[in-house]
């Protein structure tokens, strides 16, 4: 019995020490990857836009980018979130769509240069829209929120040795007409390098 108590105290002490170490360890964020996205591209017009109040609350502590992007006749809103300082702000994007009153009509894989994102078709009050989202660690792209949580947890447990922080990238349209997603990504290859 005494051995079990000692083991439990040691486990508790280890947990407290590791929790403190994780809290004090400042992992590098994705700001260097964000900076690459700012590169000049004559095919793409990019304008910074502010977060709306609900986003400011939801994304508190996150590094973020929000841009109005024009490629040819297509215009979309780009939102990029880095949860290095607050990973709890990053969640399944379909929750946000539903929270904004959209219903998910369909969701299917969307091919990217280093993996797969998700193309979501949405409906709300007779309006239809599409959005594309994915997570990226700079080496691979994926659409699974569970994979995001696995990677970001492993990164914290390994004090950053497992790789870069995955960021969440969301492209949403500004009109009901679906943009040509492939043309946007082809014109702006830097976006897939995040």
Tell me how far apart the alpha carbons of residues 34 and 58 are, in angstroms, rounded to a whole number: 20
In a domain? residue 31: yes
Considering only the C-alpha atoms of the chain, give the largest distance between any 2 of them, rounded to a whole number of Å: 73
Sign of CA dihedral 136, 142, 144, 150: negative
Tell me how far apart the alpha carbons of residues 40 and 99 are, in angstroms, rounded to a whole number: 34
Beta bridge partners of residue 172, listed in sequence order: 77
In a domain? residue 6: no
In a domain? residue 16: no
Surface-to-core class of residue 193, CB atoms within 10 Å of its CB (0-12 exposed, 13-18 middle, 19+ buried) = middle
In a domain? residue 7: no
Q: Tell me 174's DSSP state.
A: S
In a domain? residue 20: no
Q: Tell me 193's DSSP state.
A: G
Beta bridge partners of residue 168, listed in sequence order: 81, 135
Instruction: Give the pLDDT of residue 154.
Output: 92
pLDDT tens digit at each of 194 positions of the chain: 777 777 667 666 655 555 555 555 678 888 888 888 766 678 899 999 999 998 888 888 889 999 999 999 999 999 999 999 888 889 899 988 898 899 999 999 999 999 999 999 999 998 999 999 999 999 999 999 999 999 999 998 888 888 999 999 999 989 888 899 999 999 998 898 88
Instruction: Give the range of the structural domain holding residue 130, as residue numbers without chain letter.
Output: 27-193
In a domain? residue 91: yes
| Structural domain total, the chain | 1
In a domain? residue 22: no
- Contact, 136 vs 147, CB < 8 A? no
What is the CB neighbour count within 10 angstroms for residue 177?
13
Instruction: Give the pLDDT of residue 18.
Output: 55
Instruction: Give the pLDDT of residue 23.
Output: 58
In a domain? residue 149: yes
- pTM, two decimal places: 0.85
């Amino acid at each position: 019995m005494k051995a079990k108590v000692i083991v439990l105290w040691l486990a508790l002490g280890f947990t407290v020490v590791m929790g403190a170490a994780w809290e004090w360890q400042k992992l590098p964020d994705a700001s260097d990857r964000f900076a690459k996205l700012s590169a000049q591209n004559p095919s793409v017009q990019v304008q910074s836009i502010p977060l709306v109040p609900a986003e400011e609350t939801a994304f508190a502590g996150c590094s973020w980018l929000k841009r109005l992007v024009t490629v040819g006749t297509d215009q979309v809103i780009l939102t990029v979130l880095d949860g290095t300082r607050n990973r709890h702000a990053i969640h399944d994007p379909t929750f946000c769509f539903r929270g904004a009153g959209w219903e998910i009509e369909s969701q299917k894989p969307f091919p990217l240069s280093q993996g797969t994102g998700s193309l979501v078709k949405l409906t709300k009050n007779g309006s239809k829209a599409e959005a594309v989202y994915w997570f990226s660690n700079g080496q691979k792209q994926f659409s699974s929120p569970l994979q995001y949580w696995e990677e970001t947890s492993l990164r914290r447990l390994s004090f950053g040795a497992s790789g870069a922080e995955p960021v969440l990238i969301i492209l949403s349209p500004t009109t009901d007409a679906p943009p040509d997603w492939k043309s946007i990504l082809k014109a702006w290859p830097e976006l897939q390098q995040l």
